[in-house]
Amino acid sequence: MSEKRPIRRLLEGVQRFHDKEFPREHILFEHLASGQHPHTLFITCADSRIVPELITQTAPGELFVCRNIGNIVPPYRESPCEITAVMEFACTHLGVSEIVVCGHSDCGAMKALQSPAATKHMPAVATWLRNAATVWDAVESTAPDLEGAEECHALVAQNVRTQLANLRTHPAVAARIADGTIEIHGWVYDIGAGSISVFDADERELLPMESVLAQLQ
């Protein structure tokens, strides 16, 4: 018996959603049909293993999700890119109160920084990853002896730090930080453990999710 084509599996999934899940949440979807009011801009990797709503157990309409290879936020430039437009819309029009930059374990983008030859036949990917060149430089200068998985983990963490710094260069974000109406957060998601680590206030140390929760009221 041949395996189902992926597109058939997708369409059957939509059918199950329409027939079973949608009726159970019809009031929510009726409300969402006229507009969205998400509380969080969630910037994460395009990696298929990362499902923001599943990880955070949030409902449709709560997260405004921006995904790209490596959860990268290029610094602000006069000629804005798509990421700039996403942040401007989220901060200015939608009025989100939180921004999360979420990296993850075993990140292919960070592995590509370790082995640049991996993107030799993907020029667009290689060009995009130049936005993370300083991540490699930072890890090489502070922890030159790391290799393999340990080095990848360090790159993942440093990448989140770097993107948080880049976020602050964008006027729409900077204005909201200045008036105290938005907070930004750095997370690292461990795929194998199903848990996150959260950067402390100084963005130097990753803390276990449990210790962060204990501090929040």
Structure confidence at residue 215 (pLDDT): 84
Under DSSP, is residue 121 helix (H, G, I), strand (E, B) or coil? coil
Alpha carbon of 203 to those of 159, 165, 170: distances in Å?
11, 10, 18
Structure confidence at residue 217 (pLDDT): 67
Residues in the chain predicted with pLDDT less than 50, given as ranges, are: none
Round to whole Å and give the CA distance between 162 and 27.
Answer: 41
Q: Tokens at residue 133, please?
A: 């060149």
Phi-psi region of 57 (alpha: psi -120 to 50; beta: other; left: phi over 0): left
What does the DSSP 8-state code read for residue 42? Answer: E
Q: What is the CA radius of gyration of the chain?
A: 19
Strand partners, 101: 43, 186
Under DSSP, is residue 103 helix (H, G, I), strand (E, B) or coil? strand
Look-up of token digits 């901060």:
91
Structure confidence at residue 202 (pLDDT): 83
Structure confidence at residue 1 (pLDDT): 60
- Domains of the chain are 1-35 (no CATH), 36-215 (3.40.1050.10)
Residue type, position 145, single letter: D
The answer to whether the beta carbons of residues 189 and 183 sit under 8 Å apart is no
Q: Tokens at residue 169, please?
A: 């260069």
